[in-house]
């Protein structure tokens, strides 16, 4: 039995999220359908990160087990079956104990906002027609790296053992008419990035002060944060793994 990591990118606009759900169209259900059509057998996928409805990914992963040997031609055909808003980017043979979720060392998310009307960004960034101070946004972003407990930025009824995360990068940039928030951590809580963005934007608009922003973090109370940030501006940008889980072989595939 071989285990493979399947790397995907997708535009999440038309989907009810990444993970399979009953009576809903998801990235996982579409990918499993494509694999079943091509291989003529059911292949069950395990996902790396559960992106919500409308969230996009520049990189996300499934793993699956099969007796089949995957070839370059097979990846090409899988992409021909997948809908146009999902692309299989690569397949990696991995060790049998490698797991797309639990073997991940870090994840990185990007959130995009734009302040001037632009129809070409409408489904990939949040139209936020307000003046924001990027220096204040970066001051707030840097403060996050001083904390570990992000209870205030986890949505209610989240079943986790800990609310601690180690954020190693947190910054705002200007990129192609967008303000882009980039954040990297060993793990993320449900709704965390959108909560961080919404609350930092309040600071950037001077609705709250930096001291009040700190108070929200330290309150460990999710009712203090702003989770109104829409899904369509959020991208899962990267998932990182140790090199030693991958099997070095010529069958590593890139389209």
Q: Tell me the pLDDT of the chain (255 aa) as tens digits.
A: 899 999 999 999 999 988 877 778 999 999 999 999 999 999 999 999 878 889 999 999 999 999 988 866 788 999 999 999 999 999 999 999 999 999 999 999 999 999 999 999 999 999 999 999 999 999 999 999 999 999 999 987 776 789 999 999 999 999 988 999 999 999 999 999 999 999 999 999 999 999 999 999 999 999 999 999 999 999 999 999 999 999 986 544 444
Q: How far is CA 132 from CA 135, 152, 172, 183, 202, in A?
A: 9, 23, 11, 19, 9
* % helix, strand, coil for the chain, step of 5: 30, 30, 45
In the chain, ranges of CATH 3.30.70.660 domains:
106-237
Span(s) in the chain for CATH 3.30.70.580: 2-102
- pLDDT value at position 9? 96
Separation between Cα atoms, residue 180 and residue 182, nearest integer Å? 6
Q: Kindly state the tokens that stand for 186.
A: 């060993």
Torsion from C-alpha of 193, 197, 200, 206, nearest 10 degrees: -170
**86, β-bridge pairs:** 10
Choose among 225, 218, 151: nearest CA to 189. Answer: 151
The pLDDT assigned to 249 comes to 66
Active site residue 52: yes
The pLDDT value given to residue 201: 98
The per-residue pLDDT for 19 is: 81
Instruction: Give the torsion sign (CA, 34, 36, 37, 38).
Output: positive
Catalytic residue (choose from 52, 85, 123, 149): 52
Q: What Cα–Cα distance (Å) separates residue 50 from each residue in 17, 27, 101, 179?
A: 7, 10, 10, 24
What is the H or E stretch that residue 92 is in?
A: strand 86-94
The predicted pLDDT at position 250 comes to 52
**What DSSP state is assigned to residue 180?**
E
The predicted pLDDT at position 52 comes to: 87
Integer Cα distance of 136 and 103 in angstroms: 35
Calculate the dihedral angle through the C-alpha atoms of 62, 84, 237, 61, rounding to the nearest 10 degrees: 0
The CATH number given to 106-237 is: 3.30.70.660
Looking only at the bridges linking them, the beta strands covering 104-114 and 86-94 are unpaired
Could you name the CATH architecture of 2-102?
A: 2-Layer Sandwich (3.30)
Of 147, 159, 168, 173, which is closest to residue 240 (Cα–Cα)?
168
pLDDT score at 254: 45
Provide Rg for the chain, Cα atoms.
Answer: 19
């Amino acid at each position: 039995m071989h285990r493979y990591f399947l790397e995907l990118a997708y535009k999440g606009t038309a989907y009810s999220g990444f993970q399979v759900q009953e009576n809903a169209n998801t990235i996982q259900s579409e990918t499993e359908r494509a694999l079943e059509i091509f291989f003529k057998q059911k292949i069950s996928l395990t996902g790396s990160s559960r992106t919500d409805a409308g969230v996009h990914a520049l990189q996300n992963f499934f793993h699956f087990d099969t007796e089949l040997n995957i070839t370059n031609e097979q990846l090409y055909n899988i992409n021909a079956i997948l809908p146009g808003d999902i692309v299989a980017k690569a397949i990696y043979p991995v060790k049998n104990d490698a797991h797309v979720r639990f073997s991940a060392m870090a994840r990185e998310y990007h959130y995009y906002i734009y302040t001037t009307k632009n129809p070409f960004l409408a489904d990939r960034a949040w139209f936020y027609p307000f003046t924001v101070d990027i220096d204040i946004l970066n001051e707030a972003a840097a403060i996050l790296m001083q904390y570990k407990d992000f209870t205030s930025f986890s949505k209610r009824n989240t079943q986790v053992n800990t609310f601690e995360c180690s954020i190693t990068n947190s910054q705002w940039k200007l990129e192609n008419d967008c303000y882009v928030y980039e954040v990297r951590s060993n793990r993320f809580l449900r709704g965390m990035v959108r909560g961080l963005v919404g609350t930092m934007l309040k600071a950037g608009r001077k609705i709250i002060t930096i001291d009040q922003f700190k108070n929200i973090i330290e309150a460990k109370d999710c009712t203090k944060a702003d989770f109104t940030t829409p899904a369509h501006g959020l991208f899962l940008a990267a998932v990182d793994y140790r090199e030693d889980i991958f099997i070095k072989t010529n069958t590593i595939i890139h389209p």
